[in-house]
Amino acid sequence: MLFINNFINYVSSKTFIELFFLLWYFFIFDFTRYFLSDIFLCCYFIFFGKKFRERERIALKKLNTFKPLVSIIVPGMNEGKHLDELSDSLKFQSYKNFETIVVDDGSDDNTNNIGRRLEAENKITLFLKNKTRGGKASAANFGLRYAKGQFIVHMDADTSLRYDAIEKVIMPFFFDMNIGAVAGDVRVRNVNASIATNMQAYEYIKNISLGRAVNSRLNILRIVSGAFGAFKTEYLQRIGGWDIGPGLDGDITVKIRKLKKRIWFENAAVSYTNTPDTFKKLANQRYRWSRSLIRFRLRKHLNVFNIFSKDFNIFNFLSFTENVFFNVGLNFKWWFYIFFLLLFAYHDVKYLILLNYLLYVLLNTVQFIVCLFFLRKTLLLNEKLLIFYLPLAPLYTGIYLRIVRTYAYISEALFKMSYKDKWNPWKVSEKAEKEKF
């Protein structure tokens, strides 16, 4: 009680300027970023909502008139156990004109038997088997080589789709001929498996469902998730498909942006994916993701930052800058902020941490309410109930994820660990390192 009294006294004794100075990290970065994006989204829908609904109606009408063939490519290794469920769920899609190409990237379990059976039963159109593993990019490219569709949907075998997801992920191509790729919304399927999945479900809604929607409208979306995304086949062929991973989702998006095509995020195209159910497994997943960010943004596509290049594009530049800044830069600035607090306000650090915490909870709550409104058509009940977990969220996003990311960035920068990552077969990683990808 005393602590709370002291805390209130402490806060009320400070002027707004003083607080801003002590809480600069929150105000300059997170508040601006998230609060402004919420404002942006609200305005956007207030002004254009009706126009968009009309545009969607027309696009759907066109889609159902032309009925283009869609090739669903599902690359993966040892994913046989998911294939029955996958083919069953595709059977009930509202959009029917698609082919399914499952690429088995050198599985050493019974995937081949399951795939061949489903192929014989006509539940998947083509089952392609690589006897040896070549990595996810090569598997996806194998599928692409034999795809007949005008559009490609790339998805993971353990992704499940809402009944209208295929229709909704293709729809945006009919908004605007210049759209080259559409990112589907990816949500957490195992929401209530553990605290770790609760937190991730919240994180996905905040960063993907809301964050990417905003980025897409600002035309700075930089990733089409491999779990569920769609591409115009023509453009994929022009850029030669996927390059060596990890991080190939982000990589291919950049290449499509370089063709001066737009990337669209479609909230109505909802897919669900299983997420790691312990914090340990989650950390491993995030190490991989974070390292690939460094590798692809900063090493391979460094020319995006070259304002003198003839390929220079201001949106690509902004997209990259935003990404690198918020992910890599901010991560280190946050440590700097902690250092700053200890240096300038060592005695009041407990009050400041509490204050920070409360501000984040407040910000998250406001933001989640925006989500509840914005995603009202597709949010499931268990996703809506995540609002009760919000008081825990700053521990997850503010502390846990920051530590994981920092470790990953440092180790990648210093040791190029992603080349040794088990994720790619060694023969491919070795080539990548030699070629300085």
Residues at the site binding another protein, with contacts judged by CB under 8 A? 106, 116, 119, 126-132, 134-135, 137-139, 141-142, 145-146, 240-244, 427-428, 431-432, 435
The Cα 123–Cα 384 span in angstroms is: 34
Cα 293 vs. chain centroid, distance in angstroms? Answer: 12
| 305: DSSP letter | G
CB of 425 to another protein, least distance (A): 9
Structure tokens at 60: 């759907």
Encoding tokens for residue 431?
């080539």
Q: Find the shortest distance in angstroms from Cβ 128 to another protein.
A: 6
Nearer Cβ to another protein, position 241 or 276?
A: 241
Question: SS3 sequence, 115-163?
Answer: HHHHHHCCCCCEEEEECCCCCHHHHHHHHHHCCCCCEEEEECCCCEECC
Q: Give the shortest CB-208-to-another protein separation in angstroms.
A: 26
**Smallest gap from residue 96 Cβ to another protein (A):** 19
Q: Are 425 and 133 in contact (CB under 8 A)?
A: yes
| Contacts by 372-375, CB closer than 8 A, 24 or more apart | 374/41, 374/45, 374/209, 374/210, 374/213, 374/267, 375/205, 375/209, 375/210, 375/267
Q: 131 or 376: whose CB is closer to another protein? A: 131
Task: Tell me how far the alpha carbon of residue 402 is from its chain's centroid.
Answer: 17
Structure token pair of residue 49: 């909502």
Nearest distance from residue 213's CB to another protein, in Å? 30
Nearer to another protein, 80 or 106 (CB): 106
Are the C-beta atoms of residues 186 and 228 closer than 8 Å to each other?
Answer: yes
Token pair of 390 as six digits: 């919000």
The 3 state secondary structure assigned to 205-258 is HHHHHHHHHHHHHCCCCCCCCCCEEEEEHHHHHHCCCCCCCCCHHHHHHHHHHH
Complex with another protein: residue 135 or 276, whichever CB lies closer: 135
Identity of the residue, 87 or 138, whose beta carbon is nearer to another protein in the bound complex: 138
From the centroid of its chain, how far is CA 180? 17
Structure-token pair, residue 247: 């991080």
CB of 246 to another protein, least distance (A): 12
DSSP letter assigned to residue 190? -
Four-CA torsion 262, 266, 270, 275, nearest 10 degrees: 60
